[in-house]
Amino acid sequence: MKQFIGFLRKEFLHIFRDPRTMMIIFILPIVQLLLFGKVINTDIQNSRIAILDQSHDNTTREITSKLMSSGYFVMGEELLPGDDVEDVFRKGKVKMVVTFGPNFEQNLERDGKADVQLLADASDPNTARILTSYASGIINDYVRKEKLQNIQLPNQINTEVRMLYNEGLKSVYMFVPGIMAMILMLISAMMTSISISKEKELGTMEVLLASPLKPIQIVLGKVTPYLLLSFINALTIIIIGVFFFGVPIKGSFIILMAESFLFILMALSMGILISTVAPNQMVAMFISVLALMLPTILLSGFMFPIENMPLPLRILSHAMPPRWFIVIIKNIMLKGTGIMFVWKETLILMFMTFVFITLSIRNFNLIIDD
Amino acid sequence: MQEKVIEVRNLVKKFGSFVANDHLNFDVYQGEIFGFLGANGAGKTTAMKILCGLSAPTSGEAKVAGFDIYKETVKIKRNIGYMSQKFSLYEDLTIAENIRFFSGIYGISPSDRKVKQEVLLKNLDIESAKNSLIGSLPLGWKQKLAFSVAIFHDPKIVFLDEPTGGVDPITRRKFWDLIYEASDRGITVFVTTHYMDEAEYCNRVSIMNEGRIEALDTPENLKKQYAAKNMDEVFLKIARNTE
């Protein structure tokens, strides 16, 4: 035990003496979270749109004011019939043009249908999709509530879309679990693999192996500080998510932390595995970034929906531990489900941890023996 | 006859079909400086790893400090010191922190450590640098320190893997003064080296080639036997004979 505490003291000295390590562990998570949560915000607010109103009747004016008072849009320009719509887009002044056809109110009241056209600048497809769906939502809502109450229409079907668990479609709800997966991977897997391969590179690993310390004690000594720091980071991210961005924790906080702990263990065992393969720090970092960070960001469903991926990538995404972790976190935080609904994902993470540890032990023995 | 601290009998280590150590047989006596010579790839490091308990041999017997290399590696490790060619101290820790860490591993009590640390710093005349980071010290100092730390727990045997790589002859000579001191205190020194002038400083040397020990004797006897002026010639003659 005394040996172990001495080892930990040494590891913490390594960490606290290296400004780069300190940056990655303490500053990076917060910066990432704030960046994704605040700056790279995919929510729509105050988008500039143009209106081309060929009717100028009460209904179109009311719809226009509904759009403007929704908070999503502001009036960028009012166009007149005959104005070049494309020109407005080309100048980049507005993101969408709403065109009301002639005799809008009359048509609506007589036939129950009228023409409105939404033209969106799809050079940014995501925004275009969101803008058009918000706008059509507002228009339909208005028409249904204000105009069609008194008119009997046969087989009128109203589709109502509700975004469950994230009604405001707030992207930060998505980013918090994603960032958490990314940061924990970064610190647990990358930092441990670098710190172990550093000992190999500097020749101190041989000295440790020739000492009475058992290999398992060496590995535990190297890993424990990062386990503690990762856990602190997981807490920090959750705290910032809850108090700064208002992300709810609907499920059990204890299960949430237990699952985070499991994910950290998985990432640590991955880090150990990388260090058994990498001869020096550079290679360890390279493998970590290429094999961990990029797939975490691209294939875990954090940035891009897995459902939209081509089949080979969709299959590959099953092998990405963050994918399962993100599902677990979202279930617990946003849906408030208990362990009964995430046991499958939990088992998958446990299995992955087991595989990585087994492979590490096998590799480690090979290294000593070469 | 002095006590044998290393006994090696028919030691074989194979990697697949490649034979790294081919039936090694030798003894090392207490307090002697034993030079373990050979070209790169001759199997020195492999043999050393086996003797340090880091790797298991394919067949054969060996005892280090009286303990069996198959079953008693933990006891062996407690009784040996090891210094690698990369001087093996932590560059981002101070001298005192390095000593504290390695003392902890070998279970030296804090009070013993303080006494021994003072003696060590005084001997090396670096008391003022106690709280300097290892990384800021000159290479010669680092190597002396690494050696002093490797024998800090008074092991029976200390294994040195090319300890003087990359330093000038004067610094090397000073380093060997430390080795002599350790040997005088009864610590057996098992050292691999490339430098043939260092081979002259050893009590006995073995010369390995392609996994076999081709010669083992005092430097004097070897020079007589091969009618050579110095160890360099001995080494070249042996290498040529076996080609």
pLDDT value at residue B166: 76
Residue with the larger pLDDT of the pair A55 and B10: B10
pLDDT at B132 over 70: yes
User: Which residue has better confidence, B240 or A236?
Assistant: A236
Residues A125, A131: Cα–Cα separation, whole Å = 10
Q: Residue A175 above 80 pLDDT? A: no
Q: Which of A14-28, A140-154, A202-216 has the lowest mean pLDDT?
A: A140-154
Domain-embedded: residue A263: yes
Residue A95, in any domain of the structure: yes
pLDDT at A170: 57
pLDDT of amino acid B121: 93
| A272 in the same domain as A185 | yes
| Mean pLDDT to the nearest integer, A35-53 | 75
CA distances from A149 to A61, A106, A141, A144, A153 (A): 19, 16, 12, 7, 10
The answer to whether residues A121 and A255 belong to one domain is no
Structure tokens that stand for A349 in this block: 């993470």
Residues A185 and A101 in one domain: no
Based on the domain organization, do A182 and A197 belong to the same domain?
Answer: yes
pLDDT at residue A94 in the model = 85
Percent of chain B topping pLDDT 70: 98
Task: Reply yes or no on whether the pLDDT at B35 is more than 90.
Answer: yes
Domain count, chain A: 2
Residue A69 has pLDDT above 80, yes or no: yes
The residue of chain B with its CA nearest to that of A17 is B92
pLDDT exceeds cutoff 80 at B87 = no
Across the interface, whether the CB atoms of B90 and A210 are under 8 A apart is answered no
CB contact under 8 A, B106 and A212: yes
Residues B32-60, mean pLDDT to the nearest whole number? 89
The pLDDT confidence band at residue A109, using thresholds 50, 70 and 90, is confident
Chain A CA closest to residue B104 = A3
Per-residue pLDDT, averaged over A65-83, amounts to 85
The single-letter code of the amino acid at B57 is: P
**Within-domain flag for A237:** yes
Least confident of A123-132, A254-263, B158-167: A123-132
Q: Are A50 and A88 in contact (CB under 8 A)?
A: yes
Cα B192 to chain center, whole Å? 6
Interface residue A3 vs chain B (CB under 8 A):
yes
- Residue of higher predicted confidence among A350 and A149: A350
Q: The complex's ipTM?
A: 0.89
A139 and A204 part of one domain: no
Residue A160, domain member (yes or no): no
- Residue A365 contacts B, CB cutoff 8 Å: no
pLDDT band, very low/low/confident/very high, at A21 (cuts 50, 70, 90): confident
Indicate if A91 and A237 belong to the same structural domain: no
Q: Stretch A22-46: mean pLDDT, rounded?
A: 77
Q: What's the domain range around A291?
A: 2-40+170-368
A259 and A210 part of one domain: yes
Same domain, A334 and A238: yes
Those of residues 151-210 in A touching chain B at CB distance below 8 A are 202-204, 206-210
Q: Are residues A250 and A120 in the same domain?
A: no
Percent of chain B with pLDDT over 90: 57
Residue range B99-119: mean pLDDT, rounded: 93
With CB atoms and an 8 Å threshold, state whether A7 touches B105: yes
Question: What confidence tens digit (pLDDT) does each residue in A207-254 have?
Answer: 998 899 888 888 899 999 999 999 999 999 889 888 888 888 888 899
Same domain, A231 and A270: yes
pLDDT surpassing 90 at residue A171: no
**pLDDT reported for residue A103:** 85
Question: What is B4-241's CATH number, 3.30.210.10, 1.20.1050.90, 3.40.50.300, 3.10.450.30?
Answer: 3.40.50.300
CB contact (8 A) between residue B55 and residue A369: yes
The whole-angstrom separation of Cα A59 and Cα A67 is 12
pTM summary value: 0.77
The answer on A231 and A208 residing in a single domain is yes
Q: Looking at the complex, does the CB of residue A20 fall below 8 Å from at least one CB of chain B?
A: no
From the list B74, B89, B105, the residue facing A3 with the nearest CB is B105
Higher pLDDT, B232 or A151: B232
Q: Are residues A242 and A111 in the same domain?
A: no
Task: Give the distance from residue A10's alpha carbon to the nearest chain B alpha carbon, in angstroms.
Answer: 7
Inter-chain residue contact B54 with A209, CB threshold 8 Å: yes
Contact between A207 and B87 using a beta-carbon 8 Å cutoff: no
Q: Is residue A314 part of a domain?
A: yes
Q: A147 pLDDT band (50/70/90 cuts)?
A: low
Q: Among A116, A147, A178, identify where a domain stops.
A: A147
| The pLDDT of residue A293 is above 90 | no
> Å from B8 to nearest chain A CA?
19
- Confidence class for position B242, pLDDT limits 50, 70, 90: low
pLDDT for residue A362: 84
| A263 vs A230: CA distance, rounded Å | 10
Of A114, A147, A180, which closes a domain? A147
Residue B137 CA to its chain's centroid (Å): 23
Confidence of residue A157 (pLDDT cuts 50, 70, 90): very low
In a domain, A323, yes or no: yes
Average pLDDT of chain B is 90
Q: What is the pLDDT of residue A259?
A: 92
A202: confidence class by pLDDT, cuts 50, 70, 90: confident
Rounded to a whole number, what is the distance in Å from the CA of B238 to chain A's nearest CA? 27
For A165, list phi and psi in degrees, rounded to 5: 70, -15
Where helices occur in chain A by DSSP H, the ranges are: 2-17, 19-22, 28-34, 58-69, 85-90, 104-111, 125-142, 171-184, 192-202, 204-209, 215-245, 253-277, 281-287, 294-299, 311-317, 321-330, 343-368
Least confident among A168-177, A318-327, B97-106:
A168-177
